Structure formats: structure tokens, C-alpha cells
Amino acid sequence: MATLLRWDPVKEFDDLARRFTPFMLRNPEARLEERQARKAVEWAPSVDISEEEGAYVVKAELPEVQKEAVKVVIENGVLTISGERTRSTEKTGVRYHRVEREYGAFLRSFTLPEDADPKKISANMKDGVLTVRIEKLAEAKPLAVEINVE
């Protein structure tokens, strides 16, 4: 049995307005900078983010990217991974039938959780995978004070 749903155009308009409000309230100069930054970025590597007992681990796929071409920065609670993958010079006598891999500049940014310690970060690159490990802050143990009742 089919159920009829009543369409509410006012609700649809409210949903649309709610979705676009954050974009409209932004500073126009900030939107221009954002568009320019997006133009400079040509592709985005795939990323996995996981949480372990005492750390957060970010793994980014960066095949054929030299580790010297990768920059990892934490600033104001945001982890940014950027760099560039350059296309190898085309060989004479080689005809490409399909080129699907992306080349050029890349940039990925992630907001860190509150318990991430930006002072304890390590990164290494192996087999085309960049692994960034961000340690968690040591938990503050609750202070227990015993009070004698007289």
C-alpha cells in the first residue's frame, strides 16, 4: 500500500535557506581567497583517518610523490597536507591511450579533535603512503581529596 506524502513548499524553501546561509554570511574576500586556493589545487589524495588508544592516524595515498614534495603542517588546530605530483617527462616513441591519474598540486585539511596534541606529531612516507600520527593529550586525572568529617 502506497503512502501519500504532503508536499510543503515552505518547508522546502526553509531547508534550502538553512543550507545556504553559512555561505552567504561569509566575508566576500574570504570567498575569493577560497576560490583562488581551490584553483591552485588540482587533485586531492584519498585519506583514511583512524583512532588508536593514544593517537590519531592519518594515511594519505600519494603514489609517485617524492617525500620532499610533501608538506605537513598543524596550525590553529588544523592539519594540512599539501604538495605536488609532477608528470614524468613523456618518452619519445610512447603513445598514451589513456591518462587517468591526476597530476599537479594537492591540498587536504582536517580539523583536529580537542584531545589531539599538536606538539607530538610524526610523519613518515613508505610505499606511496604518507602516515601522520598525532598523539592524544595525556588525560587529566580527577583530583581526589579525602576530607575527614569531624
Residue 71 belongs to domain with CATH number? 2.60.40.790
Asked if 106 and 46 touch (Cβ cutoff 8 Å), the reply is no
The per-residue pLDDT for range 53-91, each reduced to its tens digit, is: 999 999 999 998 998 999 999 998 999 999 998 877 667
Please check whether residues 56 and 117 belong to one and the same domain.
yes
Query: What distance in Å separates the CA atoms of residue 82 and residue 72, rounded to the nearest whole number?
Result: 7
The per-residue pLDDT for range 86-109, each reduced to its tens digit, is: 877 667 788 878 878 888 899 999
Whole-model pTM over 0.75: no
| Domain region containing 16 | 9-40
Please check whether residues 55 and 125 belong to one and the same domain.
yes
Q: Can you say whether the dihedral through the CA atoms of 98, 70, 105, 39 is positive or negative?
A: positive
Question: Do the domain assignments include residue 148?
Answer: no
Please check whether residues 61 and 130 belong to one and the same domain.
yes
Please check whether residues 84 and 16 belong to one and the same domain.
no
Please check whether residues 51 and 34 belong to one and the same domain.
no
Please check whether residues 134 and 110 belong to one and the same domain.
yes
pLDDT at 92: 76
Q: In what order do the strands lie in the sheet with 78-85?
A: 70-75, 78-85, 104-111
Please check whether residues 53 and 29 belong to one and the same domain.
no
Question: Do the domain assignments include residue 146?
Answer: no
pLDDT at 138: 83
Please check whether residues 66 and 49 belong to one and the same domain.
yes
pLDDT at 39: 54
| DSSP sequence for 31-66 | HHHHHHHHHH--B---EEEEE-SSEEEEEEE-TT--
Please check whether residues 107 and 133 belong to one and the same domain.
yes
Question: Which comes out higher in pLDDT, residue 10 or 3?
Answer: 10
Question: Do the domain assignments include residue 45?
Answer: yes
> Does residue 141 surpass a pLDDT of 70?
no
pLDDT at 93: 80
